[in-house]
Structure 1
Amino acid sequence: MLPMNLPEPAVEARAHSERFVEQLRAVIAAEGGAIPFSRYMELALYAPGFGYYSAGATKFGASGDFITAPELGSLFARTVANAAIRLLRPLGEADVLELGGGSGAFAEGMLTHLAELDWRPGRYMILEPSADLRQRQQQRLRERLTADLFARVEWLDQLPEQGWSGLLFANEVLDALPVTRFVKRQGEVMELYVEVREQQLRLTERAADSMLIAALQKVEQTLGRSLPDGYVSELLVQLPWWLQAVTGSLQRGLALFIDYGYTRREYYLDERSQGTLVCHYRHRAHADPFIWPGLNDISSFVDFTAVAEAGLAAGLELAGFCSQASFLLGNGLEQELAAPAADEREQRARNEEARKLVLPGEMGERFRVIGLERGVDASALFAFGDLSGRL
């Protein structure tokens, strides 16, 4: 029985998933009969031609599986641009690097509003691992941006090697990084692996390696307690190395991450004893990562304390941490909402967009914003509702 009454995929989509499962079984067999869950998540999301973000189905918006903030309308991108201009204009010649460009909606809104504010980046770089999404972004931006703005957009195959200054922006990127899953058994740490059992993908447990044990010990030290027996959760063991890689060439500027997540004390509460992993299919959330691999998004909530720690280890400083609602309201959302609308219908759409962006029951409190700075002072962007003390 399908969880949450998930709708059945189309015949072609189901066949795609079944072919992918055969490939996954072959990988598991070739790698010793079981692979870490992080490896499975990486393949499920990014395997060329099969992974969720690598295949051609629509991911974002009403016809996809979920809606991100930039897909709701232009208010989100315009308000982030209001914040960015306070950082970018004093830098003079500066760039923007967006990690994972989605449908291109954020880049469109950001570049358009920056131009309205009489500032243009030297380059607007998009690092997009999905060839399909890159093509969609290129088509959208070519059609909707002026020739001058479109000429500034560059799609990267790898992170910049040369030093640059400006804004690094990532919306709902951290939650899609492959996580290590673990369970505590009689005081020992066990890592969750994926194996094939009775022709089905299933979880199994293996003794954790020293890196995972050390990472969890650090978490438990900051919590001031050990996690109880049977507790299942996630760790982004590779986060320090990943963050060092994406910010290593940023000479001066701000790395801004927006995602759903918690501080560490919230993340490892007893009530989350089965972890924070969540899957999305056709706007329905469920908890089974083995249903129709390649058709489901798989993500995990973000431990923002870990992000702050990784940033400090990478030589950055914490600029601020707050809810999405506080960040947007503190950087001009109300002014953007009050701007003249073309008609009553547009104004109603804006009001609905703002409601979803800031209300606690929507994205306002569930999504958090963290800024890591180098050679600049971006603390003013977080002055409204800064929660850094909770990290």
Structure 2
Amino acid sequence: MNPKAHQPDSLPAPDAAALAQSAALVERIRADLDAAGGWLPFDRYMDRALYAPHLGYYSGGALKFGRRAEDGSDFITAPELSPLFAATLARPVAQALEASGTRDVIEFGAGTGRLAAGLLHALDAQGAPLDRYSIVDLSGELRARQQARLEAEAPALAARVRWLDALPAEFAGVVIGNEVLDAMPVRLFAHANGAWRERGVVYRDDAFAFEDRDLQSTHDAAFLAEIEADGDYVTETHEAACAFTRTICRMLTRGAAFFIDYGFPRHEYYHAQRTQGTLMCHYRHRAHGDPFLYPGLQDITAHVEFTGIAEAGVDTGADLLGYTSQARFLMNAGMTDALAEIDPADVARYLPAANAVQKLLSEAEMGELFKVIAFSRGIDVESGTLDAFARGDRSHAL
């Protein structure tokens, strides 16, 4: 592949080793294209780009998480911004553990391990120590970073942590997925000249490119017909994220599952004015719209359609425990109280903490775009829900 074909001038070029890894992934995807007759639906391309063994973005060795492009990372998540995120999340987790009579946690996509270390410490401090903290992560590089961080920051608790290569058939406890659903492969559909077509991937002129094909499914046609798209319109559907949600909710025999991610309910997601969809790529802390840039070396993501996620969980028989903005969830759970415990006179500690809290809670930052949705089985909370959903619950808007 010609790397210049998809290289915006404003983005730094990878080194030779990274380019060689990307080139190897390109050849693997081209083999898939040849086997499929020269066209792949976009979700299959996205799956390979992110999860192809040893070569995909999440299964390979890219750094991913960090604060700045100079360290080789591509984006930052809430647990990396402030330890107050883990300390605050620990409160609804502890409440769910107590209400379900369980002592186990599973985290999906644990990043650098910062959230795991923070939750282990906070749950111990709140009198809700865990028996086991399990992590599911496809990246060997991230597993190594998680192990190193836990041994350094939670040495007395690290023995409780294990890494899973496969999901258990049944699980009682709390499941956590922070920015996991947005990394699930999505299908793309384009509306033009009065008709919907599925957008897929071809390889021509020494580069990947989009190509649209007629719909093959009456189900797709019926779903897309409900979207108000008079002119050109591009959007995504989220079969993989919904299937993942169903799997987790079926696995959960008692306890709760929390998913934190950016997105909208269906009526906002498929709004007539959202004509370009939500597909987005992250490379060296810069967002752009080219999923064919450096395959395997950049993140590809789409906002979450939370109505579909809610339906998928409830269809398994799980209860919808709550759905609200990240800001409301964290404030209900006591984040501002946690910030108040830091002495403002200690400027070196207080100012970074206050800046991080502002980013996590502000409507102009992560507070409104990010949502929290939770499912449960066998939880009997006296108020009917967890404290973190007691005010500002938006389940009715799904």
Separation (CA, whole Å) in 1 of partners of 2:233 and 2:342: 52
Separation (CA, whole Å) in 2 of partners of 1:105 and 1:220: 44
Distance 1:4 1:331, change over 3 A: farther
Verify the 8 A CA contact 1:240 1:314 in the aligned structure 2.
Answer: no
1:331 deviates by: 0.3
Distance 1:17 1:36, change over 3 A: same
| Secondary structure of the structure 2 residue equivalent to 1:241 | helix
Cross-structure match for 1:390: 397
Verify the 8 A CA contact 1:97 1:126 in the aligned structure 2.
Answer: yes
Separation (CA, whole Å) in 2 of partners of 1:228 and 1:217: 16
Distance 1:94 1:4, change over 3 A: farther
Cross-structure match for 2:299: 297
Taking the TM superposition and a 5 Å limit, the aligned residue runs for 1:63-74 are: 63=71, 64-74=73-83
Query: Which of 273, 276, 297 is matched with 2:275 structurally?
Result: 273
Taking the TM superposition and a 5 Å limit, the aligned residue runs for 1:317-332 are: 317-332=319-334
Taking the TM superposition and a 5 Å limit, the aligned residue runs for 1:1-391 are: 2-3=7-8, 5-62=10-67, 63=71, 64-147=73-156, 149-161=157-169, 163-210=170-217, 213-215=218-220, 217-218=222-223, 221=226, 226-340=228-342, 343-376=346-379, 377=381, 378-391=385-398
Separation (CA, whole Å) in 1 of partners of 2:228 and 2:342: 55
Which AA in structure 2 matches 1:385? G
Normalising by structure 2, what TM-score?
0.91
Of 286-295 and 82-91, the range deviating more from structure 2:
82-91
1:254 deviates by: 1.2
| Secondary structure of the structure 1 residue equivalent to 2:65 | coil
Verify the 8 A CA contact 2:51 2:58 in the aligned structure 1.
Answer: yes
Aligned length: 384
Which AA in structure 2 matches 1:308? A
Which AA in structure 2 matches 1:357? L
Verify the 8 A CA contact 1:4 1:286 in the aligned structure 2.
Answer: no
1:164 deviates by: 2.7
1:8-46 Cα offsets, whole Å, 9 max, x none, are 222332232223222322221122211111000001001
Which AA in structure 2 matches 1:231? Y
Separation (CA, whole Å) in 2 of partners of 1:231 and 1:142: 49
Separation (CA, whole Å) in 1 of partners of 2:302 and 2:168: 27
- Which ranges of structure 2 fall in alignment gaps of 5 or more residues? 1-5
Separation (CA, whole Å) in 2 of partners of 1:298 and 1:364: 22
| Secondary structure of the structure 2 residue equivalent to 1:93 | coil
1:118-142 Cα offsets, whole Å, 9 max, x none, are 2112211111111221121112112
| Secondary structure of the structure 1 residue equivalent to 2:321 | strand
Separation (CA, whole Å) in 2 of partners of 1:284 and 1:122: 40
| Secondary structure of the structure 2 residue equivalent to 1:269 | coil
1:295 deviates by: 1.0
Distance 1:383 1:272, change over 3 A: same
Verify the 8 A CA contact 1:102 1:133 in the aligned structure 2.
Answer: yes
Identity of paired residues, percent? Answer: 44
Verify the 8 A CA contact 2:92 2:386 in the aligned structure 1.
Answer: no
Verify the 8 A CA contact 1:37 1:194 in the aligned structure 2.
Answer: yes
Which AA in structure 1 matches 2:358? R
| Secondary structure of the structure 1 residue equivalent to 2:50 | helix
| Secondary structure of the structure 1 residue equivalent to 2:134 | strand
Which AA in structure 2 matches 1:367? F
1:52 deviates by: 0.7
Normalising by structure 1, what TM-score?
0.93
1:233 deviates by: 0.5
Separation (CA, whole Å) in 2 of partners of 1:289 and 1:321: 30
1:229 deviates by: 4.3
1:361 deviates by: 1.3
Separation (CA, whole Å) in 1 of partners of 2:373 and 2:174: 13
CA RMSD in angstroms, aligned pairs only? 1.9
1:199 deviates by: 1.6
Separation (CA, whole Å) in 2 of partners of 1:183 and 1:358: 34
1:199-244 Cα offsets, whole Å, 9 max, x none, are 210111122232xx415634655xxx54334321000124443222
Verify the 8 A CA contact 1:261 1:304 in the aligned structure 2.
Answer: yes
| Secondary structure of the structure 2 residue equivalent to 1:190 | strand
1:229-287 Cα offsets, whole Å, 9 max, x none, are 43210001244432221222211111111001011111112222121000000000000
Which AA in structure 2 matches 1:176? A
